[in-house]
Amino acid sequence: MPAARILIVTNGHLCRNPRVLKEAVSLGEAAYDVTVLGVSNHPPSVPVDAGLLRGAPFRLVAVNTLPGGGPAAFRARLVQRLAREAAAVLAWKTIHALGPAAPVLARLRSFPADLTIVHNEIAHWAGTRVLGERRVAADLEDWHSEDLLPSDRRHRPLPLLRDIERTLLHDAAYVTTTSHALAAALHSRYGGRRPEIITNSFPLPPTLLPHKTEAPPAFFWFSQTLGPGRGLERFLAAWSLTKHPSRVVLLGAGADAYRQALLAAVPVAQRAAISVRPLVPPAALPAVIGEHDIGLALEERTIVSHDLTISNKILQYLGAGLAIVASDTAGQREVLAHDPAAGIVVPLHDTAAFATLLDGLLADRAQLAARQAAARHLAETVYCWERERPRLLDLVATALASRA
C-alpha cells in the first residue's frame, strides 16, 4: 500500500519556519510521503534551505519570487507591490498584499495529497479555498489577525484574516496552536473546534557542558529580525541600572540605524559589554545559545498574539539550560507555571523593578545555576520535541483515518 501523501504549505523558507521543518522531518521519518510547498523570497535563505534538504525525508518545492526568477517571479512581486499600494492609497486590502497568494494556491492544487497542512496567512487562505476539494488541517502558530505593531498592520486585510481563522476552526480536519492560552482565546472568539496544542519545542540538545563561572554572566536574545517592538529597549534601560557585572549578546538581522539607536540609549561605559551577532544556520543555533547563561524572552503584552503564544526562543533557552528572564505574558506565565524555579517574570514597563530583579539574578551564582538546572529539567519533562512529536503523529493519523 503506498504511503499517504502529505502536503505542507507555508509562505516562506524552511530555515525561517522551524515549525514547518520539524513537522516535515517528523512526518517523513514516520514513512509518510511528504512535500513542503514554500515561497523563495529571501536570497540569503536559499543556500541555508539547500543545506537543510541534504538527507531530509521530504521534498521541497517553492514558488519563486526572487529577482532573476523569470516572468512568473516578476508578476508575483508586481501583484504584491500593487496590492500594498492599493491598501495604502485606497484602503483596499487583499491577501495578495501579504505575498504570492495566487501562485501558492495554483501550486497547491497541482499536488494531490491525502492531507494538506497549511501554515501562515497565505497558506491559510489557500487552505480555505480547497476545503471542498481535499482534507485540510491548519496550524495557527500566531494569531495573524491580532499580530504585529499598528504600523505594520496597515496593509493587512484583517477582516479577511478573521474570516479565514473562523473557517479553519470550524471546517479543518484539525487545528493546532502553540499554547493553551492562545487555544482558549481562539475558541472563545470563533467557536468551532478548540485547537490542539503542539508547542514550539525543539529536540533536546545533547548533554550540556557546565556554565562558565569565571566570566560575568551573559544575557542572550535572538530573533530573525533585530528591531523595535521586541522589548529590547526596555531590557537595556533596566540592564543599564544593574550593579552586578554581566554581558549582553543579541543575535539577529537588522538595520544599522536601529542597532546604533539601541547602543546610544546605553551609558557609554556599558556599551562594550553589548555585542550584536549575525544570524546563524538553524543547526548551529542550539550550540550558540548554550554558550550563554540567561535567555531573554521579552514579548510585549500589547500585541495580542505575542501575549498569548509561546515563542520559539523561550523553549530553546530551556533546552540549552539557560535561566529565563520572561516578560509577563500569558504564554510565558504558562511555561514558567510548570516550574517557577526555571526563571523570573519581569515587568517590562517598570524599569526600576525590572533592574532590581535582574540584579537579584546576577548576585547569586549558585541560585543562577539552580535556575539553569531547573530550566533544562523543564525542557526534558515538558517542553521538548520528543514529547510533541507523538501528539503530531496521532493528529495526522486520526485525520487520515477520518472521512474527507
Residue 209 lies in a domain: no
Question: What phi and psi values does residue 241 have, to the nearest 5 degrees?
Answer: -95, -5
Query: 105 and 9: one domain?
Result: yes
Average pLDDT for 112-120:
97
Average pLDDT for 210-216:
74
**pLDDT (0 to 100) of residue 256:** 85
Query: 90 and 194: one domain?
Result: yes
Beta bridge partners, 260, equal none
Convert the pLDDT of each residue in 357-368 to its tens digit: 999 999 999 999
Q: What angle do CA 101, 103, 105 make, to 5 degrees?
A: 70
Query: 53 and 123: one domain?
Result: yes
The total number of structural domains in the chain stands at: 2
Query: 324 and 349: one domain?
Result: yes
Query: 94 and 224: one domain?
Result: no
Closest CA to 227 of 200, 251, 258: 258
Sorting pLDDT into bands at 50, 70 and 90, what band is 92?
A: confident
Residue 211 lies in a domain: no
**pLDDT (0 to 100) of residue 404:** 47
**pTM for the full predicted model:** 0.93
Query: 112 and 146: one domain?
Result: yes
Sorting pLDDT into bands at 50, 70 and 90, what band is 236?
A: very high
Convert the pLDDT of each residue in 249-291 to its tens digit: 999 988 788 888 888 889 999 999 999 999 898 889 999 999 9
Query: 100 and 241: one domain?
Result: no
Share of the chain above pLDDT 70, in %: 98
Residue 207 pLDDT exceeds 90: no
Query: 231 and 124: one domain?
Result: no
**pLDDT (0 to 100) of residue 208:** 67
The CATH number assigned to the domain holding 102 equals 3.40.50.2000
221, 232 in Cβ contact below 8 A? Answer: yes
Residue 224 lies in a domain: yes
Residue 97 pLDDT exceeds 80: yes
Tracing cell 523543564 back to the chain, one arrives at: 378
Query: Could you give the CA distance from residue 187 to residue 183 in angstroms, rounded to a whole number?
Result: 6
Query: 342 and 360: one domain?
Result: yes
Residue 190 lies in a domain: yes
Residue 325 lies in a domain: yes
Q: Pick the residue with more confidence: 48 or 1?
A: 48
Residue 209 pLDDT exceeds 70: no
Convert the pLDDT of each residue in 18-72 to its tens digit: 999 999 999 999 999 999 999 999 999 999 999 999 999 999 999 999 999 899 9
Query: 267 and 168: one domain?
Result: no
Share of the chain above pLDDT 90, in %: 83
What integer best gives the mean pLDDT of the chain?
Answer: 94
Convert the pLDDT of each residue in 129-141 to its tens digit: 999 999 999 999 9
Distance (Å) of CA 137 to CA 43, 282, 288: 29, 26, 34
Q: Pick the residue with more confidence: 150 or 147?
A: 147
Domain of 257? 218-381
Convert the pLDDT of each residue in 159-193 to its tens digit: 999 999 999 999 999 999 999 999 999 999 999 99
Query: 372 and 393: one domain?
Result: no
**pLDDT (0 to 100) of residue 229:** 82
Residue 206 lies in a domain: no
User: Which DSSP category does 392 fall into?
Assistant: H
Query: 227 and 357: one domain?
Result: yes
